[in-house]
Amino acid sequence: MIAPILEGRAKAVTGSRFPGKAVNMSLFYYIGNGFLSFANNILFGAHINDLCSCYKAFETETLRSLNLDCVGFESEADMISRAERKGIKIIEVLIRYNARTSEQGKKLKWFDGVLIFLRLLRNRFIKIK
């Protein structure tokens, strides 16, 4: 994941489970992530396939410059959308992923998707530091 940063090709890298293998991912999460990725791309003119992959890498100074203020699941969208708004180059790399079930510890709920969407709107239309 960090190769594009080390090679100087990007300041940020995000993982993508698509078009690769996202084993055991439920249709609910697949559609929800697809909607959020689409919303991000429309709002920021981006081309991210998997906004909520959980795999992110940033150059230290780049990450510090984003002035992040989230602690929940929406922090992923916050990182990416703030970077996009600042014009920071983000590269997406293919990852392999084996989804967990609720019984295995998956905690993401439908309401988290609402919070992620609201964070995208906030970062697009409200002045951020």
DSSP-assigned letters across all residues of 100-124: PPGGGT----HHHHHHHHHHHHHHH
Number of domains in the chain: 1
Q: Give the number of other Cβ atoms within 10 Å of residue 97's Cβ.
A: 19
Q: How confident is the model at residue 122 (pLDDT cuts 50, 70, 90)?
A: very high
Range of the domain at 50: 3-125
Gap between the terminal Cα atoms of the chain:
27
Q: In this model, does residue 102 exceed pLDDT 70?
A: no
Q: In this model, does residue 23 exceed pLDDT 60?
A: no
pLDDT value of residue 9: 95
pTM of the model: 0.87
Q: What share of the chain has pLDDT > 90, as a percent?
A: 64
DSSP line for 46-66 = ---S-TT-S-EEE-HHHHHHT
Q: Give the helix/strand (H/E) hosting 15.
A: strand 12-16
Q: In this model, does residue 88 exceed pLDDT 70?
A: yes
